[in-house]
Amino acid sequence: MSRILIAEDDPGVASFIEKGLRTAGYASTLTKDGETALILARGLGYNLIILDIGLPLLDGFEVLAQLRGEGITTPVIVLTARDGVNDTVAGLDGGANDYMTKPFQFAELLARIRLRLNDDAPAAPAAILEHRNIALNLHTRRVVVDHRTIDLTARESAVLEVFLRNVGRVLSREQLLGHVWGYDFDPGSNVVDVYIRALRNKLGADHLQTIRGAGYRLP
């Protein structure tokens, strides 16, 4: 099943797209801001990204520029209310594979999605992620730390993968929830803290830093 990332801050539009994709047989993840969209696009092997331009925290043009600058070639369909020629040219020149303006017909969006998925098979994610003395095997969920081999649970591996793909970045609890558990998970839950503690117990307490009032970071 193809996996699609929806970066859209309008709840009505986001829900409309999400329901349509589910009916069409696609799995999707929804995010409402550009910073989280960038983290998700880096961290998981999405087959396609639907990207709004007017996102909070980081606009869609900047998200696109950073993805392409890092060599991430996931197909991107820009979906925006901006219908000026300059915006269209900026999106396509910036690396978008397609550009649609709102309002739109879902049937047309779906046809463009199918076209891009046929054109661009998803790249296989790297089997090993490494940083300093940490090496995580994404297939076996085993991590080597200081020559010690440790088995991780599926969730522990997913949380560590996010950090390894975002070394040095402060990740909030909300960003980690959205990436690993999805936005349907209760944002008031302490599940992130529980898994951070579990990873510290296995890897060593100094590997994941707490940034007070902001989140966590892998230095």
Predicted pLDDT at 101:
84
71 pLDDT more than 70 = yes
Contact 55, 64 (CB under 8 A): no
Look up the pTM and report it: 0.58
Long-range contacts of 111-118 (CB under 8 A, 24+ apart): 112/77, 113/4, 113/21, 113/26, 113/48, 113/50, 113/77, 116/48, 116/75, 116/77, 117/2, 117/47, 117/48, 117/75
186 or 70: which carries more pLDDT confidence?
70
Band of the pLDDT at 186, cuts 50, 70, 90? low
pLDDT tens digits for range 13-53 = 998 998 888 888 888 899 999 999 998 888 767 899 999 98
Q: How confident is the model over 130-150, as a mean pLDDT?
A: 87
The average pLDDT across 138-147 equals 84
Q: Which domains does the chain have, with CATH numbers?
A: 3-119 (3.40.50.2300), 128-217 (1.10.10.10)
pLDDT value at 183 more than 70: no
